[in-house]
Copies of this chain bind each other. A is one copy, B any other.
Amino acid sequence: MHDLVIRGGQVATSFGTVRCDIGVAGGRIATLAEHIPGGENVIDAGGLLVVPGGVDSHCHIEEPREDGGVMEESFVSASRAAFAGGTTSVVCFIPQWKGQGVWDRYQDYRARAARGMLDHAFHQIISDPTDAVMEEEVPRLVAEGVRSLKVFLTYEPLHVTDAQYIRVLETARKLGALVTVHCENFDAIRWRTQRLLEAGLIGPRYHAWSRPSVVEREATHRAIALAELVDQPIQVFHVSCAEAAEEIARAQARGLKVWGETCPQYLTLTAEHMGRPDGALFMCSPAPRGADEHARLWEVIRRGTLDVISSDHCAFSIAAKRGDDFSTIPNGIPGLAARMPLVFSEGVSKGRISVEEFVALTSTNAAKLMGLYPKKGAIQPGSDADLVLWDPARQVRITNALMQHAVDNTPFEGMDVKGWPVMTIRRGQVVMRDGQVQAEGGTGEYLPRAAYGMAQPRGITPNGFGA
């Protein structure tokens, strides 16, 4: 009856942990039971946690560049990194370049993604919301299950004006898509950058100086206010500081559908890292803040203001990061493999969150917001059998080799973590065992997404019962 039985684990979901067996049939979870008898294909999970496969809803993978090239991380290499770190599904980005359309790009990107092993869904970046794109192409994309439009309020040449952002919100509202937003003020950063360069302050450390918290807070408030005007739900991406999170909390308290994401780099790295000789390897946007920000961010995570932790994986090799001038060094760091171990170690092992909150933050909440739940993000009858066997006691020092991604560096090099994924199962198939990835290219599935989340403005806050 079952193709596979996982026996004896502590099955941890976003709401609780129970010792039970899991029976898998046809790639899906068929049965949860105190004991499933038999059989041949049994995995012993004794002493381990069994958690839902990670859902990383913010990854830049094999993304086409404006010059015709693509990012260094391919879907194949990204799949290896993801499985190594316990992630089984990703949502990645189709770019739009100004003056260009999106439909052809989508088809091309579908083909690229199909070569990998990861289950995958897409965000569509909008940088040029022309009538043709918004009225003809985007509706087709949404019908294909690309249910979110991403805008950059900063980043040349992708950034949009308020008028363009409003246009995106309006279209998303009609189509039932989510809007996701990179919130920093373009003009403010440009002004600061110009003044820094004029003063000869050009190294990577000045990247953080060019974009202080206030420019993120401003854009966050603006993004929310305009979404409120148009009556459209949004997710604020990669919140780096409590100051910006406060704007999200205020919006949530007003009953708005505004969600916030953060990333492991904002919980572990600081602006100081960019002052090192290899500082460029830590450059991402927003920039990591002071060390005291970590505790503040954990606090807003615990309050539920930020409810998704994704990687914002965007890998560049050391060679690509070379340069003297912070304003021309590419931004972004790889994090696909490190994400779940870092969140588990900093969160669960250090007593900041429960195991259940770990699952919510790294898998379930993203699955819900991205319209993938309960196919993904859950361990219940009918869900895909995406499962990770997690050893909560395993101590590991992060090295680039362990990350298994395409590039030659990780900003988390040398960090010690406690808790590690020892086996990853994707739709009932073991795709990683003890660090060995054993999936074949082309086995990843496209995930057409349903509408975002659910209708309620706020769920019950479980005060100490959350897990």
Contact = CB atoms under 8 A, between A and B. Distances in A.
Interface of A: 13-16, 18-20, 23, 28, 30-35, 161-163, 166-167, 170, 185-188, 190-192, 212, 214-215, 217-218, 221-222, 225-226, 228-229, 252, 257, 259, 301-305, 307, 353-354, 356-357, 360-361, 364-365, 368-369, 374, 378, 380-382, 453-467
Give how many copies assemble into the complex: 4
Contacts of A228: 214
Contact of A464 (B303, B382, B457): B457
Contacts of A162: 185-188
B222 A252 contact: no
A229 B374 CA distance: 44
A215 B187 contact: no
28 contacts: A13-B15, A15-B16, A18-B382, A20-B380, A31-B34, A32-B32, A33-B381, A34-B382, A161-B187, A162-B185, A162-B186, A166-B191, A214-B225, A214-B229, A217-B225, A218-B226, A259-B463, A304-B459, A304-B460, A307-B461, A307-B465, A364-B465, A365-B462, A368-B465, A455-B464, A457-B463, A458-B462, A461-B461
Interface centre among A19, A305, A307 (most CB of B within 10 A): A307
B14 A463 contact: no
A215 B229 contact: yes
Contacts of A360: 460, 462, 465
A304 B463 contact: yes
B357 A459 contact: yes
A303 B225 CA distance: 22
A16 B380 contact: yes
Interface centre among A18, A190, A378 (most CB of B within 10 A): A18
A236 to B, nearest CB: 12
